[in-house]
Amino acid sequence: MKKNTMTKIITLTLAAVMALGLAGCGGGNSASEGGDITVISREEGSGTRDAFVELTGVMADDIDRTVDTAEISNSTSVVTQSVVGNEAAIGYISMGSMTEDVKALKIEGAEATTENVKNGTYALQRPFNIVTKGELDELPQDFIDFIMSSDGQAIVEEEGYIAVGEGAASYESKGLTGTITLAGSTSVSPVMEVLADEYKKVNEGVTVEIQQTGSGAGIQSTIEGVCDIGMASRALEDDELSQGVESLEIALDGISVIVNNANPVEDITMEQIMQIFIGEIISWTELQ
């Protein structure tokens, strides 16, 4: 009998594989057929998620009501790729990270463009902040001056975000040397890296270290004095402000609500976004 055990195990597993394959055979699922919505969200604590749930009203009474069955992705690129691969998906990403592969929905009739963020008609927008504690050293202050100068703000615009400091003066190098450490939001980091590269071109003796740790961790590091400048893709909370940090808005970013290119839906209201993300609307047909 013992000799047969191995063959039995093999036969059983093979049968199980087949059964699994057969059992799973179901129909496809797409928005045009009125399929169920696949909700894609970010992990808890992501600056984009914090801003999104607050702006849309998914967060009520300090409780994040995002539906349990929402897929959770831990980066912008995974959200985009998931929406590309799934006709019934809806997700949200930073406007600066938009690609042609997905479609951004109009919100309350306003298209997701930088102009609409600037004039306020596109409501899903958030500030990019830098966070500092107390009196800064000369070098970090010079870097902040560079970011807020007309040169720095031009870079912000080039990267697809919305500049805030209009009519600022241009930047002049003071020839400082040393190291600046930044930590925080993964959404702010891409534009900060470009800013740092440009800053290093005009200040050759300077090293800029950027750590992508997430908004919350970045603010915490600034409070603890581990980094010179923190980066946050949301407004600071009261208990953070009470620990002696100050924030400065360096740019505005819209949050694009994205769907698959094959999705017929074009327009959506804030109310509907909220209902989708808390699980009250579960089918695309309910939107049409």
Partner 1 sequence: MRSHSERVMKAVFLLTACVSIIAVILICVFLFASGIPAIKEIGLTDFLFGMSWKPGQGMYGIFPMIVGSIYVTAGAIIIGVPIGLLCAVFMARYCPNKLYKVLKPAVDLLAGIPSIVYGFFGLMVIVPMVQQNFGGSGKSLLTSAILLGIMILPTIINVSESNIRAVPEHYYEGSLALGATRERSIFKAVLPAAKMGILAGIILGIGRAIGETMAVVMVCGNQAVMPAGVTSGVRTLTANIVLEMGYASGLHRDALIATAVVLFVFILLINLSFTALKRRTD
Determine, following the binding rule CB under 8 A, whether residue 243 of this chain makes contact with partner 1.
Answer: no
Among 34, 57, 78, 141, binds partner 1 (CB under 8 A): 78
Residue nearer to partner 1 on the CB measure, 103 or 142: 103
**Contact region with partner 1 (CB under 8 A), list: 133-141, 174-182, 201-209, 214-222:** 214-222
DSSP one-letter string for the chain: -HHHHHHHHHHHHHHHHHHHHHHT------GGGTPBPEEEEEPTT-HHHHHHHHHHT-EETTEE---TT-EEESSHHHHHHHHHT-TTEEEEEEGGG--TTEEEPEETTB-S-HHHHHTT-S--EEEEEEEEESSPPHHHHHHHHHHHSHHHHHHHHHTTSEE--TTPPPP------EEEEEEE-TTTHHHHHHHHHHHHHH-TTEEEEEEE--HHHHHHHHHHTSSSEEEESSPPPHHHHTTTEEEEEEEEEEEEEEEETT----EE-HHHHHHHHTTS--BGGGG-
**How far is Cα 192 from Cα 124, in angstroms, rounded to an integer?**
22
**Contact region with partner 1 (CB under 8 A), list: 44-52, 128-136, 227-235, 277-285:** 44-52
Among 54, 71, 193, 198, binds partner 1 (CB under 8 A): 71
Determine, following the binding rule CB under 8 A, whether residue 6 of this chain makes contact with partner 1.
Answer: yes
**Contact region with partner 1 (CB under 8 A), list: 2-10, 103-111, 187-195, 235-243:** 2-10
Residue nearer to partner 1 on the CB measure, 86 or 203: 86
Determine, following the binding rule CB under 8 A, whether residue 61 of this chain makes contact with partner 1.
Answer: no
Among 1, 7, 100, 225, binds partner 1 (CB under 8 A): 7
User: Which of the residues 89 through 148 are near partner 1 (CB under 8 A)?
Assistant: 89
Minimum gap (Å) between residue 61 Cβ and partner 1: 11
Q: How many residues bind partner 1 (CB under 8 A)?
A: 47
Determine, following the binding rule CB under 8 A, whether residue 76 of this chain makes contact with partner 1.
Answer: no
Q: Contact residues for partner 1 (CB under 8 A)?
A: 2-7, 10, 13-14, 16-17, 20, 23-29, 38, 43-46, 62-64, 68-74, 78, 81-82, 85-86, 88-89, 213-217, 220
